[in-house]
């Protein structure tokens, strides 16, 4: 499990949002695990997400979940439907609204690279 998390973080550091796809049933999952969440298969392959998606839900947090987020509040969290058909949650630009097309990137917070969504037309790559 640790290995899987480390791989995900390493890719994030290089700006790549990774998904996993089951080699048996082709199910795509956003939360990295050692097995397929649909069929339980142990063969899951990494797959780079396009980063394209649409905002499904959005909320502004006014209280930090942990001390190291205290300097970030208030901040916006969006639930995004990725083009690959899975939902992921990430930080988001404050002026996004539901149904807006977005593209994924990463924002550095301390030593962590947080998934960050911005307007699709604001990010060129
Ligand atoms: Zn499967």
Q: Would you give per-residue pLDDT tens digits along the chain (125 residues)?
A: 689 999 999 999 999 999 999 999 999 999 899 999 999 999 999 999 999 999 999 999 998 888 888 888 899 999 999 999 999 999 999 999 999 999 999 999 888 899 999 999 885 54
Could you tell me the distance, in angstroms and rounded to a whole number, from the CA of residue 21 to the centre of ligand 1? 8
**Predicted local confidence at residue 4, as pLDDT:** 93
Contact 117, 82 (CB under 8 A): no
pLDDT at 123: 56
Q: Is the distance from CB of 41 to CB of 25 less than 8 angstroms?
A: yes
Q: How far is the CA of 44 from the centre of ligand 1 (A)?
A: 8
How many angstroms separate the alpha carbon of residue 122 from the centre of ligand 1? 35
CA of 46 to the centre of ligand 1 (A): 13
Phi then psi for residue 5, to 5 deg, are -60, -40
60/44 Cα distance (integer angstroms): 34
pTM assigned to the model: 0.89
Are 77 and 114 contacting, i.e. CB atoms less than 8 angstroms apart?
no
Q: In angstroms, what is the span from residue 114 Cα to ligand 1's centroid?
A: 27
């Amino acid at each position: 499990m640790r290995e899987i998390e480390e791989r995900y973080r390493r890719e994030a550091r290089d700006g790549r949002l990774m998904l996993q796809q089951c080699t048996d049933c082709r199910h795509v999952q956003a939360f990295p695990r050692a097995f397929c969440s649909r069929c339980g298969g142990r063969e899951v392959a990494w797959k780079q997400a396009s980063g394209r998606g649409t905002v499904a839900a959005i909320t502004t947090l006014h209280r930090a979940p942990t001390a190291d987020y205290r300097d970030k509040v208030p901040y916006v969290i969006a639930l995004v439907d990725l083009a690959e058909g899975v939902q992921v949650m990430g930080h988001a630009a404050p002026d996004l609204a539901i149904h807006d097309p977005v593209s994924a990137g990463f924002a550095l917070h301390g030593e962590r690279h947080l998934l960050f969504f911005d307007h699709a037309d604001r990010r060129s790559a």
